[in-house]
């Protein structure tokens, strides 16, 4: 049985540091690598592909890729934790006279990835997290109308962020399973920077990732 090796992908260094500061308290595990990839799905995919490829080439392949960081929540408490039951490219497609059509609707790609359901369930339980679709967008939602449109198109969506689908695409290309865990820094809706709670979300990110890790280590794909 191959030993678990976990790649954790954040967007920015503040997220990476929030994760590593808690992991280091748990004895700096050599089986976990945390990278700050940059903001957005393209940066996330590029960094994930690069990390997975060099680990595999060095004979120490990763067995799981985790997208993590802060997010906007759909009806979630600020500082709350969410785990993606599906990772959805919510604005990858075309606007048609009948509304938005995803790349899957258009017949030229995949618009969703599905993390292993038992892993989602166990991580959500360990991290006291809500679980549901997490949307990946390239443009942060800034109006109530857009928030309602996304919520209607993706029933049960718990959060939106900007990297999960990029991590998932890169992982899928190498046959590596994926997971996404987020903590809520702001509600998805009208733009209001005064309402962001980034320090609380970063603290929750450290706690959530520390709770997740034993489950990931014990997981048998």
Ligand X SMILES: O=C(O)c1cccc(C(=O)CC[C@H]2O[C@@H](n3cnc4c(=O)[nH]cnc43)[C@H](O)[C@@H]2O)c1
User: How many Å apart are CA 190 and CA 31, to the nearest integer?
Assistant: 40
CB of 18 or CB of 55, closer to ligand X:
18
* Phi, psi (deg, nearest 5) at residue 12: -115, 165
Angle among Cα 110, 84, 47 to the nearest 5 degrees reads: 65
Query: Which of 160, 206, 212, 216 touches ligand X (CB under 6 A)?
Result: 160
Q: Could you identify the residue written with the tokens 């060095």?
A: 58
CB of 6 or CB of 184, closer to ligand X:
184
Taking the complex as a whole, the smallest distance from the CB of residue 209 to ligand X amounts, in Å, to: 15
Q: Does 143 bind ligand X (CB under 6 A)?
A: no
Q: Does 186 bind ligand X (CB under 6 A)?
A: yes
User: How many Å apart are CA 90 and CA 92, to the nearest integer?
Assistant: 6
Q: Does 72 bind ligand X (CB under 6 A)?
A: yes
Q: Does 129 bind ligand X (CB under 6 A)?
A: no
Q: Does 161 bind ligand X (CB under 6 A)?
A: yes
Cβ neighbours of 60 (radius 10 Å) = 14
**Are the beta carbons of 146 and 33 closer than 8 angstroms?**
no
Q: Using CB under 6 A, which of the segments 85-93, 102-110, 112-120, 139-147 binds ligand X?
A: 139-147
Binding positions for ligand X, rule: CB under 6 A: 11, 39, 69-72, 137, 140-142, 160-163, 185-186, 188, 191, 193
């Amino acid at each position: 049985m191959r030993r678990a090796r976990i790649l954790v992908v954040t967007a920015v260094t503040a997220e990476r540091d929030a994760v590593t500061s808690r992991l280091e308290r748990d004895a700096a595990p050599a089986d976990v690598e945390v990278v700050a990839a940059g903001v957005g799905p393209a940066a996330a995919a590029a960094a994930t592909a690069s990390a997975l490829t060099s680990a595999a080439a060095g004979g120490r392949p990763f067995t799981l890729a985790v997208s993590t960081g802060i997010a906007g929540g759909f009806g979630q408490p600020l500082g709350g934790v969410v785990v993606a039951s599906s990772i959805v490219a919510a604005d990858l497609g075309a606007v048609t006279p009948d509304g938005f059509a995803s790349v899957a609707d258009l017949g030229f790609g995949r618009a969703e990835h599905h993390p292993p359901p038992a892993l989602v369930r166990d991580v959500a339980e360990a991290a006291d997290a809500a679980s549901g679709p997490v949307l990946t967008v390239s443009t942060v939602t800034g109006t109530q109308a857009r928030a309602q449109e996304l919520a209607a198109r993706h029933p049960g969506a718990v959060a939106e962020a900007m990297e999960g689908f990029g991590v998932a695409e890169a992982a899928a290309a190498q046959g590596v399973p994926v997971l996404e865990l987020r903590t809520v820094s702001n509600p998805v809706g009208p733009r209001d920077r005064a309402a962001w709670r980034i320090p609380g979300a970063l603290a929750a990110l450290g706690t959530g990732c520390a709770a997740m890790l034993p489950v990931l280590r014990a997981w048998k794909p």
